[in-house]
Structure 1
């Protein structure tokens, strides 16, 4: 079997040649070049927003690019190929009309969906049909919804009662933090949080615990706060 470099020819690389190179390079399993990188812009994409997979440190004398959805150069996972001289995009089996390849190799995904989350592989093919491969990752998040705060009691007695506050949310893959008087809640030895931070227990309560509480849910692309809940503490 001839190596990919043996297929070199003079002139621009046609689309068929690009696909042939991609097929042969699959069999040759070329190693990933350390200098070639893919950057997601923004680093975490929000569902429904555009995201760019930007390519850095491309080698010179390129004939074209081929993008794949996944961690390998697999023809069944090919998104599209781009011939630089002809400035032509040729769709593959995994192509979506939301995808655009730019002359610098970067891949734009318009109105990203949760299904776009995953690995993406770029095959950069040189004029002599030698190639470099790099894989990057894209993560798409759904904006969080507004949480609700539920309390075991709204009125408690100092040093006698405990109160349990629960943050209710339908979102998954999120983090939770607690606010007191619109500030991050300072933790004391009387406070206990559940493992996922969704439940806050204060036992026993003191007069300085009286005031407005909120829980906030967040992920890398969004955050929402619950309506304030006021805790009244009786003492004397």
Structure 2
């Protein structure tokens, strides 16, 4: 009977770790965040909450002393976290932007994951930075929109003389706009918008596609001479 119980316990532990879906919590600075734990996970006597980012740091560990559950917060977190030993939950006080990351409740005996929270702390978005890898005609131009703050979504507004949507694609969660086989008509204003729960911000990029040709300046215009195997083509550009 004891062997059967032990096998069931191990099976439950493995299923709990493998099927656990992280709970995502979005918040802003200054709030209090409660890290919930299921009744099954709370029943494990020896467990610890860890912050898992570039390194793994223990926040609080729980243990049994006689017939009561106890907990102890690591010194560096003592003024920032409250905890409840009976259900293995904890509360983060006065959230900071640097608190963003992954938090896991780990069974210290079998190293299984009992609870997993991914915390994202938002601040009002700053104006994004837009960069371009090229401005040459017939090249693949990538306009990348980068933000220094946490964002939920990115969108673009394209203002130009001629829009060929078939050659425009978005990658990396819409952060990068690709122009395949760039043409002179792709020159124009490209505006990137970033959004999060605290608002939106935007920046624009004035793209000028350079033609693959020799420029002959004549009065107020110049001619684009593009050489071909049988001669050259002349195109006019303002």
TM-score by length of 2: 0.46
TM-score by length of 1: 0.46
Asked which structure has the greater CA Rg, the reply is 2
Question: Relative contact order: is structure 1 or structure 2 higher (C-alpha 8 Å, sep ≥ 6)?
Answer: 1
By percentage of residues, which structure has more strand? Answer: 2
